[in-house]
Amino acid sequence: MAGAVHIPDEAETRAKWGGFAFSPAYKAKADVFIGRYPAGRQQSAVMALLDLAQRQVGDETQTQGWLPVPVIEYVASYLGMPYMRTYEVATFYTMYNLAPVGRFHVQICGTTPCMLRGSDDIIAACKNRGLVKGGTTPDGLFTLNEVECMGNCASAPMVQINDDNYEDLDYDSMTAILSDLAEGKQPKVGTQLPGRHTVEPFGGATTLQAMVDKNHDYRGDW
């Protein structure tokens, strides 16, 4: 796994983000999420509001976004909840970044299914592009982290880059994705195998019934 997150200096962070507040557009979205819960239960929207705050920071920094402490404090105040309870949420879920990241946050799955299907080759492709686990490239473009299972085992190995998943990867396809992003292009999202659209079986869709009919006709026993 990647090394520990380096939390920026607090004085410097407060100087830059101490006046954070939702922009009108993000405030409107935040109030929609809060409105989905009964009166007095607005704290249930904490995950959504932390995500919105991180996205606004991302917009302002032209990165994938992160949550400086003053921003977490702002969300806590907005929802009328203790700061520590909000901080607990932000530190529990890896969808929230507690330190600055690059424009593209590359999260490689290193869990067993992806490892068995070649995640080491994906890490090698990143390394040969200059990415280092737990770090951001000098140009501020890429941050690389290794994470646990993201639920795409049937199309392993995979990575998540910002909000998009890229699946059925190998060294060459991962290299191409990083090159496209660096050049301002949008790579194909999802599976990178030609002819495959989601995670349907290779060679066409099958069903248990078709397998039974083909090999042993047990219908008379049902």
Predicted pLDDT at 201: 72
- For range 73-77, the mean pLDDT: 98
Where residue 7 falls among pLDDT bands split at 50, 70, 90? confident
Where residue 41 falls among pLDDT bands split at 50, 70, 90? very high
Tens digits of residue pLDDT in 141-177:
999 999 989 888 989 999 999 999 999 999 999 999 9
Predicted pLDDT at 28: 98
Predicted pLDDT at 44: 97
- For range 89-112, the mean pLDDT: 94
Pick the more confident residue, 88 or 198: 88
Q: Please give the model's pTM, rounded to 2 decimal places.
A: 0.82
Predicted pLDDT at 183: 96
Predicted pLDDT at 5: 59
Predicted pLDDT at 119: 95
Predicted pLDDT at 220: 52
Measured distance CA(161)–CA(150) in Å, rounded = 12
What one-character-per-residue DSSP string does 70-105 give? HHHHHHHHHHT--HHHHHHHHHH-TTS-SS---SEE
Residue 1 has pLDDT above 60, yes or no: no
- For range 18-35, the mean pLDDT: 97
CB 187 within 8 A of CB 180: yes
- For range 92-116, the mean pLDDT: 94
Tens digits of residue pLDDT in 172-214:
999 999 999 999 999 999 999 888 887 777 666 666 666 666 6
Predicted pLDDT at 211: 61
Order of strands across the sheet with 190-191?
142-147, 104-109, 159-161, 164-167, 190-191
- For range 130-151, the mean pLDDT: 93
Predicted pLDDT at 81: 96
